[in-house]
Structures are given as C-alpha cells and as structure tokens.
C-alpha cells in the first residue's frame, strides 16, 4: 500500500472508520453473494468465494478508493445462460478470459470509452436484467415443485404457469416474513443490513415452525464447506476458448460498464476521483484470480459501494476488511448456512431487482418520445426476450444511426454573397452566388460520413445550374472536422468542377482538416495555389480568373470589380477585355 495515493493522509481514526464500514459491508455481502450465485445457476459457496477473492483484489489493486466488488445482479442472466449452455467449468474459463480482456482494456487506456455508451442503452439492459432476476425468483418465492430452469424468459414464465398448482404455502409464508423484516429494517435503521435481518428472521421461522416443509440450501445443494477451495487452473484448449470468446466479451463489457458506473457513483458520494484504467486492470486481475478458486465473475457493486461510503469508509482498507469478514464467516458459520430456506433468498433478490431497475429513469426517457425512447425500448425488450449481447449490440447500432441522422443536420452549406460593409462573406444568402462565374459557399459543421451526402447534394445541385467553367470558392473556417468520407466528397466536387473546366478554391481550413487534405493527397490535387488562409485572399484570386468578355452584358454586379468592368465595357463596347481586378473590397478581410 506504500505509495498508493488512496491512502494519503491515513490515520488511526480513519482506520477505525474503515473497520466499522468493512464489517457492515461484509455482513451485507454474505447473503447477496449466495443469492446471486444461486440465481446464476451455481452453488451458493461460489458466490462467497467471489466476494472474498474479488473483493480483496479490487480493493488492493483497483482505481477507486471506495469500490466494493463481488457478484452482482447484472451478471445473473449472462452467467445463467453460460452455465446452461457450457457448464460451470467453462463459466470459470470465460470469467478468466474476461479478466484478461479487462486488463488489456485498462493497459491500452481505453477505460474512458466505456463511459460513452448511451444512457438509454444502459438503462434498457439494466431494467431488462431486473425483470429477469425478479421473474426468476417467483418459483422460489412460491415454493413451486418440478420447475425446470430455462434460458429464455417466456419459457420460464410458461414453466411457472404450468406448475402454479404446486404452490407451497409454507414457502410463501417464509418469503413474506423475510420481505417484511427486510423492508421494515430498511425503514427503521441504516445500521442493520435489511437483507441479513430478513434472512435470519425467515430462517429461524422456518427452522422453528416449518421444519422439513420448505426447501433449504442444504436440501438443494448440500452443506457449504467451511474452507476455500484449492487452487485449480482450468484446462484450456484453443477450440474451447474460441467457443467461449463471445461469452467472455459480454462478461468483460458488462463488468467494465458496471465497475466504472459504480466508481463514478462512489466519486459523487465520497468526493473522490477514480482512475478508470487502473480500475479496469484491478477488476481484470480479480476476475482472473477468482475462477482459479471456484469464484464466478465479479464487478463493482453499486449498492455495496454506497453502503461502504455511508458507513464512513475512508480508504480501500474497508474493502479489504469486508473480504476478510466474509472469509471468517465462511470458516466459522458455514455449516449453519445449509438451514437457510431458498424462499428466504427470493425476496432479497426481488428487492435488489426492484432497486436496480431504474424505473424512474426508464419512464422519464420513454416520456420524451424521442429516438432515445426507441433505443431504450428496443434494448429492454431484447434483453428480456433474446439475450444481453443482442440487446446491447442492437441498442448501440440504433443509437449510432439516430446520432448520425441528428448530426447530419448540423452541417450547413449556404450560398454566400459579398458583404461590402464587413468586407467579408455573408453566409446566409440563397443557394449559390448571384455572380454567374463565381460561386461563394460557406460550409459550417463537421464534414464526415454522416454529413457528406448533405454537402454533395447542396454543391452538386448548385453546379447543375451553373454555366461552364465555374469558379467555386468554399469558405471552410467553420468546418470543425473531416474524415476520409468527407475528404472523398470534397475530392468528388473537385473532380466535377475540373471536368467542366472550372476551378475549386478553399479558404480557412483549420489544422485538422488541412492534415486530412495533405495526408490524402487532395491538397496536391486541388493545388497549393488554390488553398487560402483567408477569404480576403481567395476572392481576389477568383476575380483574377474571371472571363472579362462575360462581364459587360451582366447586370448582377455583386463585386465592385465586376461593376466597374461592366460600366467600362458598356461605354467602350470592348467585350473581350479582361482587366486585372483590384480586389479593393477583399484586401483586408
């Protein structure tokens, strides 16, 4: 811990605060660890192992001062699907692979990228996960018999409906006792963990009054061993790792998102600033180590992290204490855990699902009736009825499409005319310039793949109405950025004008746009003498390219120079004269 800035200014007083916070969070983590493991389709002790190992390593190596890591509800549907398809042993391999991916993401300093996932996508899949967790506990709450766990939501609902006649009233009573004590404890005091109080009360009631009439952890899974499992490195094969890669990617993505969201919540509550890349590396190492001891994937737990801060945590030492508390409980009290009724675990997970559902944000986004509402609804429905991978991919694609559609409207391609008062270009004129030979256009906004069609349509529409040998001056001062698609669109315009014997002039390209032009070779194609820093340099050059023979009969007279040339031509009848323009209006612009 020497040199760790998270321990700067540490004192004995802060140590006492960390001990108290770690003790409370450790007690909170025990029932949640077992409940999430059972909901994920594995034995309850695997959740305890995860709390100990992942919680310890994330507190030691992570980038947040207050982060508490362990199994979370967000992982439940993902891990359950992996267990159903590949089995527990392969879940461990997928978790290990995900840990490696997280370390790589952190090492490449990509932690900030995860923060750019659209909010409607995260709300959508979080609410969908909450529905899956809640619905998955209905069978345990009611004590239904012979219900087969399925991968899909609708199949599980059909199983529940099919066996609804096997309701066990003793299980319902046990679940209601747990739920009532949990909610009452949360309302009356923050000092006692509601989940633990409900679990103890329901377990005592079941042992004293419903003994042998409700399913327990012992009857379903056997006794929980009072020790950590031995180190066991899984057998890795290339074929197996390829098959598990999609699952590992989902675990890594979800783990990264959840951990960084939790770290940001901790920052707001604790007044600290986490290091996102270090946090990803810490989470990755934890997920590499946990499977080696039988643990399931873990991430930052928002509720437990908030509990840690509310109880006075001052440093990562509280997270270390929390892991050690769980270890002591495992070693001393594990045999008693076999008496915990499964019906008592159900309301704990239901309350977790209710709290994580982000129902207020969900309704708020839906009420906006915008593209975000569609992204939210699509992500939510696909999470519930398909799978998380499909849901997130579809949500991101739709969000990207809608973003491109919105951003395409930010590009403005406006025809300009000279403004004699400002000696500059007024970019609010009708499309094109009134001058038959010179067209002035101001381009404003990003010129990239989403806006290039707008740019091309505007310029090509104008060129279709122009006479031969057009001179097009594009003012690019307000072009904020350009990608290769935008460069290709500009190259197409250049080719079109050149094919008609005309000239393209650019004015005011910034450094990033000019770099794209130079690297692509378009600067050379346009010609360095046709690239200008200011409009005051581009317009006089354009005037020097005028065909003087066309000016005497023209009545547009947008430039002082063409007005003078027209008057001179009308007086003398010299229609072939091409004088050198003075550029009087543009020299200082």
Domains of the chain by residue range: 14-116+158-356, 412-572
Instruction: Decide the pairing of beta strands 438-444 and 424-429.
Output: unpaired
Q: Evaluate whether 217 touches 342 at the Cβ level (below 8 Å).
A: yes
- Domain 412-572 grouped into CATH 3.30.1330.200: no
The ranges of the chain with pLDDT < 70 are: 1-3, 6, 415-434, 467, 548-589
pLDDT at res. 310:
87
In 357-483, alpha helices (H): 359-368, 371-385, 388-408, 452-463
pLDDT at res. 324:
96
pLDDT at res. 469:
75
CA separation for the pair 531, 514 (Å, rounded): 10
pLDDT at res. 511:
92
pLDDT at res. 558:
55
Tell me how many helices (H) and strands (E) the chain has. Answer: 24, 8
Count of Cβ atoms closer than 10 Å to residue 589 Cβ: 18
CA separation for the pair 64, 60 (Å, rounded): 10
> What letter would DSSP give residue 447?
B
pLDDT at res. 149:
85
Secondary structure E strands in 44-125: 69-70
Q: Who's near 138: CB < 8 A, 6+ residues apart?
A: 144, 160, 346
Q: In 3-state terms, what secondary structure has residue 412?
A: strand
pLDDT digits (tens, 9 = 90+) for 322-331: 999 999 999 9
pLDDT at res. 580:
38
Q: Evaluate whether 359 touches 127 at the Cβ level (below 8 Å).
A: yes
Nearest CA to 186 among 336, 28, 393, 423? 28
pLDDT at res. 137:
93
CA separation for the pair 273, 279 (Å, rounded): 11
């Amino acid at each position: 811990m020497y040199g760790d800035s998270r321990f700067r200014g540490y004192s004995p007083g802060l140590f006492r605060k960390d001990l108290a916070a770690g003790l409370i969070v450790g007690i909170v983590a025990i029932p949640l660890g077992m409940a999430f493991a059972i909901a994920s389709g594995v034995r309850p002790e695997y959740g305890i192992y995860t709390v100990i190992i992942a919680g310890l390593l994330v507190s030691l190596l992570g980038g947040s001062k207050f982060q508490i890591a362990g199994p979370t509800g967000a992982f439940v549907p993902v891990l359950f699907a992996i267990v159903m398809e590949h089995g527990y042993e392969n879940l461990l391999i997928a978790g290990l692979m995900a840990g490696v991916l997280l370390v790589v993401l952190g090492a490449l300093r990509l932690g900030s990228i995860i923060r750019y996932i659209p909010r409607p996508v995260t709300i959508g899949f979080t609410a969908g996960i909450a529905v899956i967790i809640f619905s998955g506990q209905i069978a345990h709450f009611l004590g239904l018999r012979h219900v087969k766990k399925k991968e899909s939501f609708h199949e599980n609902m059909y199983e529940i409906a099919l066996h609804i006649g096997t309701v066990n009233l003793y299980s319902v009573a046990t679940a209601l006792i747990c739920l009532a004590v949990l909610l009452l404890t949360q309302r009356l005091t923050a000092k006692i963990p509601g989940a633990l109080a409900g679990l103890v009360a329901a377990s005592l009631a079941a042992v004293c009054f419903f003994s042998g009439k409700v399913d327990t952890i012992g009857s379903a899974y056997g006794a929980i061993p009072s020790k950590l499992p031995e180190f066991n490195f899984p057998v890795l094969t290339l074929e197996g790792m390829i098959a598990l890669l999609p699952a590992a990617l989902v675990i890594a993505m979800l783990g990264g998102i959840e951990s960084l969201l939790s770290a940001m919540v901790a920052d707001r509550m604790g007044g600290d600033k986490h290091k996102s890349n270090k946090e990803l590396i810490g989470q990755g190492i934890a997920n590499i180590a946990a499977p080696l001891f039988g643990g399931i994937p873990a991430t930052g737990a928002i509720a437990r992290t908030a509990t840690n801060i509310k109880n006075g945590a001052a440093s990562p030492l509280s997270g270390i204490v929390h892991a050690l508390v769980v270890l002591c409980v495992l070693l001393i009290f594990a045999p008693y855990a076999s008496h915990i009724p499964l019906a008592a675990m159900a309301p704990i997970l239901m309350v977790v699902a209710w709290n994580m559902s982000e129902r207020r944000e969900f309704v708020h986004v839906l009420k906006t009736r915008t593209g975000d509402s569609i992204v939210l609804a699509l992500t939510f429905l696909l999470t519930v009825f398909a799978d998380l991978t499909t849901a997130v991919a579809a949500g991101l694609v739709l969000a990207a499409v809608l973003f491109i559609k919105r951003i395409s409207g930010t590009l403005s391609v406006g025809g300009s005319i000279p403004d004699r008062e400002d000696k500059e270009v007024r970019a609010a004129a009708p499309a094109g310039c009134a001058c038959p030979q010179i067209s002035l256009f101001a381009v404003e906004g990003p010129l990239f793949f989403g806006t290039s069609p707008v740019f091309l349509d505007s310029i090509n529409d104008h060129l279709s109405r122009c006479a031969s040998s057009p001179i097009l001056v594009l003012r690019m001062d307000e072009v904020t950025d350009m990608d290769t698609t935008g460069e290709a669109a500009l190259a197409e315009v250049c080719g079109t004008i050149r094919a008609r014997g005309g000239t393209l002039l650019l004015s005011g390209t910034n450094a990033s746009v000019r770099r794209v032009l130079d690297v692509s070779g378009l600067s050379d194609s346009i010609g360095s003498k046709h690239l200008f820093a200011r409009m005051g340099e581009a317009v006089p050059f354009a005037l020097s390219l005028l065909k003087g023979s066309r000016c005497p009969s023209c009545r547009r007279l947008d430039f002082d120079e063409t007005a003078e040339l027209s008057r001179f031509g009308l007086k003398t009848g010299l229609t072939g004269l091409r004088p050198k323009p003075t550029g009087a209006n543009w020299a200082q612009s």
